[in-house]
Amino acid sequence: MKRMNALAEQRHMSIGIVGAGWIAEHAHLPCFLSLGNVSVRAIYDTDEARAARLAEQAGAAACSRLSEIGQVPLDAVILCTPNHTHYEIAKHFLEKGIHVLCEKPMTTTAKEAESLRRLAEETGTVLMMGFVNRYRDDIRELRSRIAAGQIGEVQICEVSWRRKRGIPRPGSWFTQKQLSGGGVLIDLGSHMLDQLLFLTGAEEPVACLGSFHSRPVFTQEGYSNWLGSSESEKVEVEDTAVGMIQFANGMLGKVHVSWQDDVAGDFVQIHLKGERGSLTLNTLFGFSDQGLYKQPHLLLTFAGQEVQYFPLPAKPDPLVAFQRQAEQFVACIREKSQPVPSAQDGEKVVRLIELLYQSVRKGLVVT
């Protein structure tokens, strides 16, 4: 019986990739292609040429309509389309009993996020959030120290991801409000708000205050970065966002994210102040080649004592985290277990983002 169960768990799994953009091509596709007993059977994109290019790499069917990908027998899909499409496309597959790994953000509204979470529960499907940075070794090290009580109960958590020249292709859907739902807060902020919640376990927000800022983008100077070149000067969304969140347990959270900031290089910083001391992680998420820190590191400080410095492996390969995420997604489907990060985790982040946007629109603290 045990052998039969093991064989059932390892049955061949068919995957579809929905959205053939940068993250699908450079992260998800190579990771899922490397998994045993898993095949990428279909690539969908409204751009037929782009779908065809990735499909050729995977030996998969190229689809430019959802009706086409629906003809391919699939167990699960990886959702990598523009933000405003997440709700309808995820709903489409979940209703058919097809599992979904959804790139951030889960949706652009909290109401839609709640609806998808409930749908996954009703259909018994796996709806997993693509908060890939949870799988990084530096984050695992930081979280283990917090969980071990090294700094005591966390009182303040500040999370930052700031780039020097990191707008995702100015003029693309990332910078068009109707398609993205927002700017850097919904892009980089989704990851950083998830880290805030993941590392601290903070639950209910009781007050939020947000402040957004933007600068002109001079694309005529040949703006480009590792994500590609500019498409136009049309940037309708914020490029810098700062927010403060008071939680019901008394913890204060702060988020600071920027696509173009006055910094010497790109960096991620997570600082936690506890009742016994503080922990600070200086590192960089993502694929940027403009990192500030040559040596990522942790700083540990106890009240009134000298700072302790702990170097971490230089520039972690971001594909390691994507590989672990792919393995976790497949394991959850085979084991019929709840994914971590879950749909509820995605919903919590969308709710925080929505509150911060409300605060900016109203010009005051929202509760």
Are 260 and 166 a contacting pair, CB within 8 Å? yes
What pLDDT, on a 0 to 100 scale, did the predictor assign at position 220? 66
3 pLDDT higher than 50: no
User: pLDDT tens for residues 110-144?
Assistant: 999 999 999 999 999 999 999 999 999 999 999 99
Q: Taking residues 279-287, what's their average pLDDT?
A: 97
Mean pLDDT, the chain, whole residue set: 94
By percentage, how much of the chain surpasses pLDDT 70? 97
Residue 310 sits at φ, ψ, to 5 deg, of -125, 105
Q: Which two tokens stand for residue 252?
A: 């204060």
Distance (Å, rounded) from C-alpha 54 to C-alpha 224? Answer: 23
CA dihedral sign, ordered 82, 178, 350, 192: positive
